Amino acid sequence: MKIIYRTILFSMIAFLWSCEDAIDLKLKDNTPKYVIEGTITNEPGVCKVNVSKTKNFGDDNQFNGVGGALVKIENNGTTILLSETSKGVYETDRINGTPGQTYHLTVTTDNETFTSSSTMPEPVPFLDFTLKTADYDTLRTTPMVKFKDISGIKNYYWFQQYINDKIQRQYKVFNDEFTTGQEVNDYLVFENTTKDRSKNIVKGDRLTAEMHCIDAAVYLYMFSLSNANGSSDGAAPANPVTNIAGGAIGYFSAHTVQRKTIVIP
């Protein structure tokens, strides 16, 4: 069985993610696979691609980065080569993502080529992030996010979560199948699922919700990943539905970013 190691958060993502962490995802076979996780956002200079390989389930919890890859982003006839800033981490500040634009990723390593495309949606207003006293305790806290869906188009949302600026494993995805054009109010869950009580949520902690407007393929990946991680029937979970072509797993996302922070009272 394998476990995927990812930078999450994704800074995260803003990706991106400024740290590497592990997602508890068992793969259906024992064949080593490349893992590609890339994002470009509408924030200046945020374009990052992590290239790694799967590891054995019992191996250490370190990011298994793949060095020496050729990583390129193309948009409207302009191609930018990303620089390897650490082993397996490729970045550039030469691209500012723009809503409505499509970005094409190419990763070449060890005579293999992987490709993906993602179109950045228009941002949907992130209206509020609130917490009632009754929705807080040290192990599980459920603040509410509020946003206004845009009617007439399909919208998909990915919320990443931080405690004191540290990315959390929990995330939430939404679509507007039943809420098109409506104001949406829903809960995020922040919780300590470990036995380490030093990680409990306490008064004064900062909770941050980072809202991403994503395209349909990235939504499908994130949704299927959450289902795979949540499998509890003893069967091997299905691999998440990647938007990377060529045999790698992972995702490439061009998305917008909005964030709000509250402090535990």
Tens of pLDDT along 3-61?
A: 333 333 333 333 333 333 334 445 555 678 999 999 999 999 899 999 999 977 656 66
* Structure confidence at residue 227 (pLDDT): 80
Residues 6 or more apart whose Cβ sits within 8 Å of residue 255: 39, 41, 42, 97, 118, 120, 121, 158, 212, 213, 214, 215, 218
pTM: 0.85
Domain boundaries, the chain: 2-121+216-256, 126-212
* Structure confidence at residue 159 (pLDDT): 98
pLDDT over 70 percentage in the chain: 83
CA–centroid distance for 181 within its chain: 25
- pLDDT band per the 50, 70, 90 thresholds, residue 230: low
Instruction: Please say whether the beta carbons of 23 and 229 come within 8 A.
Output: yes
DSSP 186: E
* Structure confidence at residue 163 (pLDDT): 97
* Structure confidence at residue 30 (pLDDT): 65
**Who has greater pLDDT, 226 or 179?**
179
How far is residue 174's CA from residue 245's CA, in Å, rounded to a whole number? 25
How far is residue 64's CA from residue 60's CA, in Å, rounded to a whole number? 10
Tens of pLDDT along 86-102?
A: 999 999 999 989 999 99
Q: How many residues does the chain have?
A: 265
Tens of pLDDT along 109-149?
A: 999 999 999 999 999 999 999 999 999 999 999 999 999 99
Q: What are the phi and psi torsion angles at 242 (to 5°)? A: -75, 155
Average model confidence (pLDDT) across the chain? 87
Instruction: Please say whether the beta carbons of 17 and 231 come within 8 A.
Output: no
Task: Specify the CATH number of the domain 126-212.
Answer: 2.60.40
How far is residue 80's CA from residue 265's CA, in Å, rounded to a whole number? 45
Residue 79 clears pLDDT 90, i.e. is over it = yes
Signed CA dihedral, 48, 53, 58, 62: sign only: negative
Return the structure tokens found at 177.
Answer: 């199948």
